Amino acid sequence: MRVKEPREDNWNKLKRLLKYLNGTREDKLILSYDNIHIIKWYVNSSYGVHPHFKSQTGGMVTLDNCAPITMSYKQKLNMCSSTDMELVAADDMSTLILWTKLFMEVQSYYID
């Protein structure tokens, strides 16, 4: 809705974002860690927040104090409850969770 029919406050938010991005153009992102052997994934979903009661799933992986992977996407399924949606979100992210562990082990890092 915001893209098709933006309101004045949407334009103000966009201008604020563009001003921030322009002001931080030269900044560098530094990812650091103390213990690479512990990887934590966080997965969550929001039930029925889109039209036709589609849900939103989000996930983030952390290595110590940085989050190199974050994602969020609209679910393709309609579920009957928020509990069901949480299970679908966990199942959807499980392949990425396993892939992350296997990828780090192939790079010669043992994961606890």
- Top-confidence residue, 75 or 2: 75
Half-sphere exposure of 46 (CA within 13 A, CB side): 8
CB-neighbour burial class of residue 62 (10 A; exposed 0-12, middle 13-18, buried 19+): middle
Mean pLDDT of 22-28: 93
Q: What is the CA radius of gyration of the chain?
A: 18
Please give the pLDDT value at position 2.
Answer: 65
Please give the pLDDT value at position 109.
Answer: 85
Mean pLDDT of 86-111: 88
The model's pLDDT over 59-98, given as tens digits with 9 standing for 90+, comes to 998 887 788 888 888 877 777 778 888 888 888 888 888 9
Q: Read off the pLDDT band of 20 (50, 70, 90).
A: very high
Q: Read off the pLDDT band of 12 (50, 70, 90).
A: very high
